[in-house]
Amino acid sequence: MTNDIPILKVEGLTVYQGSYLAVRDVSFELLPGTDTAIVGPNGAGKSTLVKAVLDLIPRSAGTIEILGRPISRLGHLRHTLGYMPQNFIFDRSFPISVSELVGLGWTKERKKKSSFFSKLGRQDREKSAAVTEALRRTDAYHLQHQAIGTLSGGQLKRVLLAYCLVMPRKLLVLDEAFAGVDVQGAADFYALLNELKREEGWTVLQVSHDIDMVNRHCDRVLCLNQSIVCTGKPEIALSPQNLLATYGPGFSRYQHQH
């Protein structure tokens, strides 16, 4: 069955940052339509892992395949990946609007035999329609003309999600997507993400510190502390014993009251 073919396959991934071993011999697979969370203490290598998976930083060892292809040979399939970094760093005085930012995520391959000038107007209309639809679906349409430097943390997260939504994606990678967002804002964002995941058929890989949210919404958990401590369904991976082994003594699990 096609659903048994992994969207992402990682084998023996090892990453050094200088002389520091950040990620050691990590292997896992993501099946289509699943939502997998990476949890672990600060400095465990979570962000390093997802950046290496996306080929944003070099790896020392290991192989990464996305949609059955080595990450270095994805070609046009790279457009099927969406990424929301933990910190979206930019000059807040830079004059770019929300709709312009989301439009940067839209890519249309032109057929070689097509006339550029004959297709330009139609592609502009397609792009505008795609941006409008992505902003509507993320409840950010009212922000379309606003400069991105004026957005709140929660608003910016929705706009970045619209950026990922403006083109069809297979894999969405979120690195602490809810950092800087209050509890209610994170809950609302999770609800939106789950709705879009069902509608779009996304496979999701996310880094999170929110154990309660992970337990509620994710299908699978990777407990990481340089290497994988345990993996499995939330009810197994997030047991007190596994959390102790991952985080060490003194870990306190926070429960949301809603």
Structure tokens at 54: 């996306």
Q: Which domain holds residue 135?
A: 2-245
**Model confidence pLDDT, tens digit, residues 48-96:** 999 999 999 999 999 999 999 999 898 888 889 999 988 787 878 888 9
Are residues 166 and 80 in contact, defined by beta-carbon separation less than 8 angstroms? Answer: no
| 89 found inside a domain | yes
Whole-structure pTM value: 0.86
Are residues 203 and 33 in contact, defined by beta-carbon separation less than 8 angstroms? Answer: yes
pLDDT confidence tier of residue 120, bands split at 50, 70 and 90 = low
| 26 found inside a domain | yes
Number of domains in the chain: 1
Average pLDDT, rounded, for the chain: 88
Report residue 198: phi and psi, to 5°. Answer: -65, -45
For residue 18, the domain's CATH number is 3.40.50.300
**Model confidence pLDDT, tens digit, residues 169-192:** 999 999 987 776 777 777 888 888
Q: Give the per-residue SS3 of 65-126.
A: EECCEEHHHCHHHHHHEEEECCCCCCCCCCCCEHHHHHHCCCCCCCCCCCCHHHHHHHHHHH
| 251 found inside a domain | no
Look at residues 198, 220, 165 and name the one whose alpha carbon lies nearest to residue 6.
Answer: 220
Residue 110 reports pLDDT greater than 50 = no
| Residue 146, amino acid | Q
Q: At what angle do helices 153-165 and 183-200 cross, to 10 degrees?
A: 10
